[in-house]
Structure 1
Amino acid sequence: MEERFFHQLEEIIRKNLNQRGIEHVRLMGQLEEAAAELFNGSRIFIVTGFAIRQAMAGETDGPIGAVALASALEQLGKETVLITDCYSSSLLHQALKVKGMKTPVEIISHGEELDMSKQILKKYRPSHIVAIERPGRAADGKCYSMRGEDLSDLVPNTDILFEQAKQQRIPTIAVGDGGNEVGMGKIRSQVIRTVYKGDQVCAVFATDILILAGVSNWGGHALAAALSIKARRMLLHDQEAEIRLLKTIVQSGAVDGCTKKPTLTVDGLSLKDNLEILNCLRGVVELALSADQSFCKSVS
């Protein structure tokens, strides 16, 4: 019975994929698989933060979805660790304050990625690692913006953390929206064919599970919604919390990744557009919970 609700969640977050060039890619069932993995996990790494050179700060897409997922997992009794770089660390710290969370934040530094990756894996021993809107290295070893701007001198190479995790047989999950994020190597051939400058920008690392979303925050929200369905209780925050989170990270320096401006938008989409997706996801959860209660009554 749950399967149809997971399918609905996946369909909702596909909005805007036509603007990315990957609207024809179908990876159905990945959200349900990811939720099952995380539901049975114990300590989860969530890696996020996409630096914008013009602002020397992180963008509005990524941190909110990461914190939403961390909150859902912690409500289920899981431990989470957020991992980012210096450009998005303050955004995460401030977002966590909004949610009243004390989740640890680890910062990966440029040039120290291998040592730091080994250290934090040994320190926390995660059961799973998730990327939400995190730049991934392309075939030439560089990482790029969706327009093909080289960000390699700016962005620490967190592919190394995922490579180390995979060597330790830690399941890897990613959320991406454009092809240049960690995990999108799973659909590399499609990205090369259909995404603008796809052969240049496509990330090569392929995660075990990949969730495609028109905006990566939506993928984090969809994971929180999927966990809600499995837990049979609402774990995804409401629109008032979403507004507070967006306002807070923008005040902390975040910019829209498309416009490069400090506005209450994400990937060029208005606050209204983003709230519509959030409310649709919550609506699916509410339907699932209602259906579950009706089923319980019918068999009692």
Structure 2
Amino acid sequence: MTIYHPGEVEVQRRAGLESAASSSGQAIKDTIPLIAAEFLAAQPMVVIGGTDRHGQVWSSLLTGPAGFMRAADEHTLAVEALPGPHDPLAELLSDQAHVGMIAIEPATRRRMRMNGTASPEGGGLRVNLDQVLANCPKYLQKRKLTVPATGAGPTGETSASRQPALTAAQQLRITTADTFFVATADERGNADASHRGGNPGFVEVLSPTKLRWPEYVGNAMFMTLGNLLVNPKAGLLIPDWDSGSFLHLTGTASTDWNPEHAAQVPGAQRLVEFDITEVVEVSGASPLRWSAPEYSRFNPAL
């Protein structure tokens, strides 16, 4: 893969940040540095995204005790976990698939982003990586792990629901969230997973099937918005840090480039609107539990 595909290049041009993107692009590698390998081996979770056989993009999260994720070699990531049966990515990850991944450590706000091709191996995955990069920690809330994972994969799943729109309780959960993850893919299916954060309320629920959030100043790579320009499909994951339940949303997203609209939202460079086509909520999907957040000092006030 080249560093940037045409969609990313076009978004960088529209934003007037081609030079910054070129500089940031030098951080994208196809190998796992030693310091990154050590970081990954210490993490109890990794976000993963991809496109299912119906063409819908989903985002989810795999968990396990420290060491469940490790660098098998400088080009390969081994993950000893698979999604639970109710997870919308379960079928996709039972075969070879393009995936985007991001490992975050909330306690230190460190994160590592990885894109490649996953294949099932034993009770987990083997991911051949073609993009590896460390991201800026802006807008990542600080949390401490209070209940660690004791085994690979989800535990304690109690229920799962599917519907075409958000319930009132799910709408409230989104409007009080400070973090979500978004998966996208280019026109060839190469997937990417990214993080979005802000003070509670930064995601607006415009209706039971439409959300909107601000795009703040970032690393100028525009990997998410570049994908959306060529392929509007997207998948969101809103984790419940207290209960371990996951709210998965899939649909289509578009970028609003009108500067007058962005000016109405503090800190916004542009806005993204997301139209929901399906909602999947899985309770008890993660064994991890986290402390109350310490909000990032970079979060714009609402």
Q: Which has the higher contact order (CA 8 A, sep 6+)?
A: 1
TM-score in terms of structure 2 length: 0.29
Question: Structure 1 length as normaliser, TM-score?
Answer: 0.29
